[in-house]
Every structure is written in structure tokens, then in C-alpha cells.
């Protein structure tokens, strides 16, 4: 693949235009920088306080803060909230302002440095192991968390031995029991610290994730890691107490004990049992064999959280309050978005067992080409939600979004069967049955990266396995639209490496009409596709003939049922108001509860106050957050355009039908198809590194874990063996694996 040297003057001119388009007012840039610095200072101060919490200095400092603030109407609960949860809310509020300053209309594409450089987030360190592919930045986080756990256990153990003298116990058995119970208490506290982080990664539209540009498919991994750690600590917490109670001969009595003042044991047992059930069913082997069991048992998180609050009471529960409250906010907003049914404008069933759905969306719902949506088909299941990467660019049309679904399990088999049945009914001209039988879709999202990082590399290598080509079709379409419209876009050299099992999957490439999007794209974009058909040794189709895809229009006319814009990654101002108003509502609700109920009636039962705190969280979201959602919905209805989406999708089926009979050897791009081979990443990466020279090469992989590991291993090898004036490979994963 040669260089496009004749296009250099043109490209330089385009980059100058991009710089002009990306020009941001100085006061905006300065304000964003100041906000970013303040956010980092707050986080570092909060994390430092947590890290040194096992020391006596920090304990005394915390006692002073509590003594200085507990005389307010919020009492000790307010003091713990101020120490543990308030910094998180402050960071979230500042993040909202920063995101609002960034704007939503056109993503900022920053020009890469002239010389290639390494980046912590894209340098794979660990490739094979229990954590999967781990980048340098993630490795630093894992090390810091591990150091804190070890440090806390050592410091608390030293303190626990010193505390034994205060209990006036003399026999070795009594000393062992006391030491077991104190150690169990310490494990419980460390588990609460981990729990404070546990719910943050699974708040899909969280402003915190958007602020640091971590998409939910990456954040889910952190939730998994933290979940294992948290449950291990809580299990040790419970186990140490159980052993101590058994040694005292009071095991049954303590297990069913429900104290009014102090920690209530029975709710803790119930909470731990729910957590253990979630933990066991989430282990990789059982989760893969029976995903539905994992999914349904994971709904026990409600039992886990509620009974945890009953177990520890309100003020200890507020140690984890921020993360749980932000998750509740996200879950409530997702509930509102998913209540709306959505029009499926058309479907396509490909011979390879892949289904394309084109879903109606409002014009003001923005996303980038590396987006994800969660889909529910109520005719198949009322509880199951499945994530799918978007296969269309936001520039393909304002009123629709497309996804590709590979038929792999029971749910997808039923979906394809329903679509084929509807197709037969339409072909037989049975309009009555058509109206009775339809597919009703509900959607959550879109989610994904806050910024389109695929636009920040001049050189891209996209590695896909099977249906993993879906997001790369969106990337390719996005880049072609931007080149054609002279919008900010850096990629000029693109290599797509696609590994498929059978040649009938090749038809998926024709879902992107490159020539129609950008007629002269070959003059401005150096595109090469290398396809590896692993289970066929030679072409199995007759020359000039390809299997036909089945096209269906399900909805008999557009009924105006688009995806809801009520999503955390949607309008920054409204989603920010939703968070701020709900948080202020929580403070008001707790204050009113204390003034008119808890203080006048001298309510001091720990478990009851913990339950009231959960109630205050739910009430503030329902009342204050619900009010913002209603106003947001009314504003969306008033400002959203009334156009029908026909101009976006009317020629989609015609385009596919026209291109089905095209020979792939005559495609509008360089497509090297190799049969009976697997990609040799060492040869592919090495040859293109020499061809492209000393540049940053963005590598994006979407496929099974084995493919990700292979690509990450080669990126690491190329970078470690790199010499001067050679390329640096930046590893990025776009795969979602629960």
C-alpha cells in the first residue's frame, strides 16, 4: 500500500481548515482548564484522605470534622456525608459545567503531535491473565488499589493488637475471639470503601465517566474487578464474625439478632447472602454457560443495598452514599427512556445469519460513531436487555440509527424468526395479520466515548472478528462523510483487518455506500481491507453470484415513535440539571425529615434511620428529579422537529439490492480476500509501520477476548522493540463482555 504523497498539499490545507473550525475562545479554554485542575485537586485530596484513613492522624482529623459539624440538623450523618460523599458530588457538578462549555454540536478533533509518543491509556501492559488486556493507566489504578488494601490491613492489624488491652480479656480463647471480631469489623470498613466506588462505573450515563471520557463498556470491567474485591472483603467480614460467634457458642443467637441501637446482624446476613449469590453467578464459567441466571440474580443488588442500609444504619451507609445515589439517578432516567416504544423502520436479514435493524431516533439526539445502545424486544422478553454497537454514522441521517445483530443464541434466534415471519406475512398481502403481529422495541442509550477518538489518528488499523465489523462500518462512514463535508477529521490511512468464518459474511461490507457518501474518496483516503475467511480454503460462490439479503419494512408508515432523548449522555444542560436538582432535593428531603420527624420524635434506631435514608434518596429522585424529567420531556417535544425520517432510510434497501450482485473483486476499495488463513499480526503491523513511517497508529479492535489479546500482544511487542523513526501503536478496545 503506497503513500498518498501527491495529496500532501491538499491535506495540509484541510488541517488548517480544521484548526480554524476547532478554534475555541480563550476564556472557554481557560475556564475548562481551571475546572479540570479543581476537579483533580478535589479527587486527589479525597483519595489521599481515604488512603491514610487507617492512620491515627486521619482518625483524629475525622473526629474533629465530625465534632465541628454534627450539631447541625443533619447530625453525624451529615458529617459523614461531608467527608465521604460531598467531594464526589462537587466533582460531578464541576464536570457538568465543563461539559456544557465543550458544547454538543461539533466534536473537537485535536491535532496529534508531530512526533509519535506513548500514552498510558493506550499502552497494553498485561495481555494474558485474569484481568484481560490491561493498559498502563489501568495497571497504575490496580496497583494503587492493591497497595491501599494491603496497607489498610497491616495498619488495622497493628491497631487491633494494641486495642486488645482495652477489653480486659485474659484467656487466649477470649483474646482470639475479640481479635477475630475486630478484624472482621476492619474488613467490613475496607469493603465499604470499595463499595463507594463499585456503583460509579455502572452508571451508564454518569457525568463522571463522561468527564474523564471512559465509555461504559470499559467501565464495566472496573465494576467487575471491584465487585470481586468488595465481595471477597465482605465475605471475610462475615466469616470472621461467624467464627468468633461460634467460638463463643452464640452463633444462632447472633445471626438472627436485630439490634435497634447498633449494627443489626440479621439484615447483614441477608445482604451478604444476596451479595454472595450475585458473586457466585457472576463467575466467568457460570456466567457464560447460563447468562440468564447471572442476569436475573444480579437484580438482587436492590436487596443487597437496602439490607446493607438496615445493617449499618444511616451514618455508616453514607460512606457509600454518593456512588449508590448516582447509580439510582442513572437507573431512574434509563427507566423513563426505556418506557417509550420505538419504530423499527426497516430490517435486513443477511444470509450469514446477521440482522440489521434501522431504528427511528430524534434529530437532536447526538452520538458518535463508536456508540452503543441497549435493546429490548418485548415480544421476546420483558426483562432482557442486550447491548449492540451502532453500525451507522451520526452523519448518515438525523432520524435513524442502525445496528447489526449476529444470530448466536436463543434471543437472537427468536428475533430473526419473528422478522422472517413478518416478511412472509407482508409478501402474502395479509395486512390484518401485519397489524396484529409486530415487533416492539425499547431502547436505552446511546452510550459510548464522549469524544470520537477515532478521528484523532491520521493512521488507523481496525481489527474485527466476525460481527465486530459493525462499529468499523460506522467509523468508515463517519470519516467519509467528514472528508466529503470538509469537517474536522484526521484519518488518511486506514487498514481494516477482518477475520470471518465463512464468505457469506462479506455482504456486510456493502452496507456502506462509500461512492455515494464521498465520490472521490480514493483521492483523499488511503483505504485497504484485508479479509481472512478462516473456514474456507477457496471461494465457495460462483463467480458473479452472491446470496441475497431479505429486506423488510416492518412499520406500515412512520408513526412518530422515536427513541427518547431522555438519556444521561444526551443534552448536557438538562442531564446536569437532573443531577443537581436531585442532589439538592436529597439535602432538602433529609433536612425536612430531621426537622419534622427524627428530632421531634427522638428516632434513634439505626436500622430504621438507614431505611429512611434509602427512602429519602428514592423520594428526592422521584419528586425533584422526576420534575426535571417532565420539564425536559416537554422541552424536547416543543423543540424537536416534526420531519419524518423517510429521507434517511428510503434508499437503504435499494442500495443493498443494487450492490448484492457486485463482485467483491470489483469493489470500490482495495479488498484482499484470503481463504483458509488467519491474520498474521506481526507481518501486518510490521509492514504498515514501515510503510507509514514514524507516526502514531491508532489500533481499534472489536471481537472476542482471544482476538483482543493477540492484537494487544502485538501492539506491546512492536512498541517495546521500537527504534527511532518507527511507528507507535495505540491499543483501543471496542468490545463489550459482561
Q: What is the pLDDT of residue 141?
A: 92
- % of the chain surpassing 90 pLDDT: 50
- Range in 92-96, 422-426, 655-659 the model is least confident about: 655-659
Q: What is the pLDDT of residue 10?
A: 38
Peptide bond into 446 cis (omega under 30): yes
Q: What is the pLDDT of residue 426?
A: 59
**CATH T-level topology, domain 341-564+654-733:** Rossmann fold (3.40.50)
Average pLDDT over residues 19-43: 84
Average pLDDT over the chain, rounded to an integer: 85
Greater model confidence, 25 or 599: 599
Report in angstroms the alpha-carbon separations of 213 from 21, 176, 201, 451, 702: 22, 48, 12, 7, 19
Instruction: Identify which of 565, 717, 688 has the alpha carbon closest to the alpha carbon of residue 2.
Output: 688
Which of the four pLDDT bands, split at 50, 70 and 90, describes residue 546? low
Bridge partner residues of 88 (DSSP): none
Bridge partner residues of 359 (DSSP): 344, 401
What count of other Cβ atoms lies within 10 Å of the Cβ of residue 171?
Answer: 8
Asked whether the predicted pLDDT for residue 547 surpasses 60, the reply is no
The C-alpha atoms of residue 329 and residue 89 are separated, in whole angstroms, by 13
Asked whether the predicted pLDDT for residue 652 surpasses 60, the reply is no
- Range in 63-67, 441-445, 508-512 the model is least confident about: 508-512
Q: What is the pLDDT of residue 332?
A: 95
Which of the four pLDDT bands, split at 50, 70 and 90, describes residue 433? very low
The SS3 call for residue 499 is strand
Query: What region, left, alpha or beta, does residue 353 occupy, with left being phi > 0 and alpha being psi -120 to 50 degrees?
Result: left
Instruction: Identify which of 379, 386, 391, 397 has the alpha carbon closest to the alpha carbon of residue 341.
Output: 379
- % of the chain surpassing 70 pLDDT: 86
Average pLDDT over residues 131-148: 92
Question: Is the CB of residue 659 less than 8 Å from the CB of residue 510?
Answer: yes
Q: Using alpha carbons only, what angle is made at residue 19 by residues 17 and 20, rounded to the nearest 5 degrees? A: 65
The C-alpha atoms of residue 287 and residue 298 are separated, in whole angstroms, by 11
3-state secondary structure 219-264: HHHHHHHHHHHHHHHHHHHHHHHHHHHHHHCCHHHHHCCCCCCCCC
Which contacts of 112-120 are long-range, i.e. CB under 8 A and separated by 24 or more positions?
Answer: 112/456, 112/457, 112/458, 112/490, 112/696, 113/696, 115/694, 116/694, 116/695, 116/696, 116/727, 116/728, 117/696, 117/728, 118/719, 118/728, 119/730
Average pLDDT over residues 615-629: 97
Domain ranges within the chain, ordered by starting residue: 341-564+654-733
The C-alpha atoms of residue 341 and residue 442 are separated, in whole angstroms, by 5
Question: Is the CB of residue 407 less than 8 Å from the CB of residue 479?
Answer: no
Average pLDDT over residues 386-390: 91
What is the rounded (10 degree) CA torsion for 66, 69, 72, 78?
A: -60
Asked whether the predicted pLDDT for residue 409 surpasses 50, the reply is yes
Question: Is the CB of residue 393 less than 8 Å from the CB of residue 366?
Answer: no
Average pLDDT over residues 239-264: 94
Q: What is the pLDDT of residue 723?
A: 80
Q: What is the pLDDT of residues 67-85, one digit of tens each?
A: 999 889 999 999 999 999 9
Is the whole model's pTM more than 0.85, yes or no? yes
Q: What is the pLDDT of residue 3?
A: 42
Q: What is the pLDDT of residues 155-204, one digit of tens each?
A: 999 988 888 777 777 788 888 889 999 999 999 999 999 999 999 999 98
Q: What is the pLDDT of residues 292-330, one digit of tens each?
A: 888 889 999 999 999 999 999 999 999 999 999 999 999
Asked whether the predicted pLDDT for residue 331 surpasses 70, the reply is yes
Q: What is the pLDDT of residue 4?
A: 39
Q: Can you say whether the dihedral through the CA atoms of 293, 294, 299, 301 is positive or negative?
A: positive
In the Cβ-directed half-sphere of 695, how many Cα atoms lie within 13 Å?
Answer: 21
What does the block give as the cell for 242? 461467624
Asked whether the predicted pLDDT for residue 385 surpasses 80, the reply is yes
Average pLDDT over residues 470-487: 91
**CB contact set of 544 (below 8 Å; sequence gap of 6+):** 661, 663
Q: At what angle do helices 606-620 and 572-593 cross, to 10 degrees?
A: 150
Amino acid at each position: 500500500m503506497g503513500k498518498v504523497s501527491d495529496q500532501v498539499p491538499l491535506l495540509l490545507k484541510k488541517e488548517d481548515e480544521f484548526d480554524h473550525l476547532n478554534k475555541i475562545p480563550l476564556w472557554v479554554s481557560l475556564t475548562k482548564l481551571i475546572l479540570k485542575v479543581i476537579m483533580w485537586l478535589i479527587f486527589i485530596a479525597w483519595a489521599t484522605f481515604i488512603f491514610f484513613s487507617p492512620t491515627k492522624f486521619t482518625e483524629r482529623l475525622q473526629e474533629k470534622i465530625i465534632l465541628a459539624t454534627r450539631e447541625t440538623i443533619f447530625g453525624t450523618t451529615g458529617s459523614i456525608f461531608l467527608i465521604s460523599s460531598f467531594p464526589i458530588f462537587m466533582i460531578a457538578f464541576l464536570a457538568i459545567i465543563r461539559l456544557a462549555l465543550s458544547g454538543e454540536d461539533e466534536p473537537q478533533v485535536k491535532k496529534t503531535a508531530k512526533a509519535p509518543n506513548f500514552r498510558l491509556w493506550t499502552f497494553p501492559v498485561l495481555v494474558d491473565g485474569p484481568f484481560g488486556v490491561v493498559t498502563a493507566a489501568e495497571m497504575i489504578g490496580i496497583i494503587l488499589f492493591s497497595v491501599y488494601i494491603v496497607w489498610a490491613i497491616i495498619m488495622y492489624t497493628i491497631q487491633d493488637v494494641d486495642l486488645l488491652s482495652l477489653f480486659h480479656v485474659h484467656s487466649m480463647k477470649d483474646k482470639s475471639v475479640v481479635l477475630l471480631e475486630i478484624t472482621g469489623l476492619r474488613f467490613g470498613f475496607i469493603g465499604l470503601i470499595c463499595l463507594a466506588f463499585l456503583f460509579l462505573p455502572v452508571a451508564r450515563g454518569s457525568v463522571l465517566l463522561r468527564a474523564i471520557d471512559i465509555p461504559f463498556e470499559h467501565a464495566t470491567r472496573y465494576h467487575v474487578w471491584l465487585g470481586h474485591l468488595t465481595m471477597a472483603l465482605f465475605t471475610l467480614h462475615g466469616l470472621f464474625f461467624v467464627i468468633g460467634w461460634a467460638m463463643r457458642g452464640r452463633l444462632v443467637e447472633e445471626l438472627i439478632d436485630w439490634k435497634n441501637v447498633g449494627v443489626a446482624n440479621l439484615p447483614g446476613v441477608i445482604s451478604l447472602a444476596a451479595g454472595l449469590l450475585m458473586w457466585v453467578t457472576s463467575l466467568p464459567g457460570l456466567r457464560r454457560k447460563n447468562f440468564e441466571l447471572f442476569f436475573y440474580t444480579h437484580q438482587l443488588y436492590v436487596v443487597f443495598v437496602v439490607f446493607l442500609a438496615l445493617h449499618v444504619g444511616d451514618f455508616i451507609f453514607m460512606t457509600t452514599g454518593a456512588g449508590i445515589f448516582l447509580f439510582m439517578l442513572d437507573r431512574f432516567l434509563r427507566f423513563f427512556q426505556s418506557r417509550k416504544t420505538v419504530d423499527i423502520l426497516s430490517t435486513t436479514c443477511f444470509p450469514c445469519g446477521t440482522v440489521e435493524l434501522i431504528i427511528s431516533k430524534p434529530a437532536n439526539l447526538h452520538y458518535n460513531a463508536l456508540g452503543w445502545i441497549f435493546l429490548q424486544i418485548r415480544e421476546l422478553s420483558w426483562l432482557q436487555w442486550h447491548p449492540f454497537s451502532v453500525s451507522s454514522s451520526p452523519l448518515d441521517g438525523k432520524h435513524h440509527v442502525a445496528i447489526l445483530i449476529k444470530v448466536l443464541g436463543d434471543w437472537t434466534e427468536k428475533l430473526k424468526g419473528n422478522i422472517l415471519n413478518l416478511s412472509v406475512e407482508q409478501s402474502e398481502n395479509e395486512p390484518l395479520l401485519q397489524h396484529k403481529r409486530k415487533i416492539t422495541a425499547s431502547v436505552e442509550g446511546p452510550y459510548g466515548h464522549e469524544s470520537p477518538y477515532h478521528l484523532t489518528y491520521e493512521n488507523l488499523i481496525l481489527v474485527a472478528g466476525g460481527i465486530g465489523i459493525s462499529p468499523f462500518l460506522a467509523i468508515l462512514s463517519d470519516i467519509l462523510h467528514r472528508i466529503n463535508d470538509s469537517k474536522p477529521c484526521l484519518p488518511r490511512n486506514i487498514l481494516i483487518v477482518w477475520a470471518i468464518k465463512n464468505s457469506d459474511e462479506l455482504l456486510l461490507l456493502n452496507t456502506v455506500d462509500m461512492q455515494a457518501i464521498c465520490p472521490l474518496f480514493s483521492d483523499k483516503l488511503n483505504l485497504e481491507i484485508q479479509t481472512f475467511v478462516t473456514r474456507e480454503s477457496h471461494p465457495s460462490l460462483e463467480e458473479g453470484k452472491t446470496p441475497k439479503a431479505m429486506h423488510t419494512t416492518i412499520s406500515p408508515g412512520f408513526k412518530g415513535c422515536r427513541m427518547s432523548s431522555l438519556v444521561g449522555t444526551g443534552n448536557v444542560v438538562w442531564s446536569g440539571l437532573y443531577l443537581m436538582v436531585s442532589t439538592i432535593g436529597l439535602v432538602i428531603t433529609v433536612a425536612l425529615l430531621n426537622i419534622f420527624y427524627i428530632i421531634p420524635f427522638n428516632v434513634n434506631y439505626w436500622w430504621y434511620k438507614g431505611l429512611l435514608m434509602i427512602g429519602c434518596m428514592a423520594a428526592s429522585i422521584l419528586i425533584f428529579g422526576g420534575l426535571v424529567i417532565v420539564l425536559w420531556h416537554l422541552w424536547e417535544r416543543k423543540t424537536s422537529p416534526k420531519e419524518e425520517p423517510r429521507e434517511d432510510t428510503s434508499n437503504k434497501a435499494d442500495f443493498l439490492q443494487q450492490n448484492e450482485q457486485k463482485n467483491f473483486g470489483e469493489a470500490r476499495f482495495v479488498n484482499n480476500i484470503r481463504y483458509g488463513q488467519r491474520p498474521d499480526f506481526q507481518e501486518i503491523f510490521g509492514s504498515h509501520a514501515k510503510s507509514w513511517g514514524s507516526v502514531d497508529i491508532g489500533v481499534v479492535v472489536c471481537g472476542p477476548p482471544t482476538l483482543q489479546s493477540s492484537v494487544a500482544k502485538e501492539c506491546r511487542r512492536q512498541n517495546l522493540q521500537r527504534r527511532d523513526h518507527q511507528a507507535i501503536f495505540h491499543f483501543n478496545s471496542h468490545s463489550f463482555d459482561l
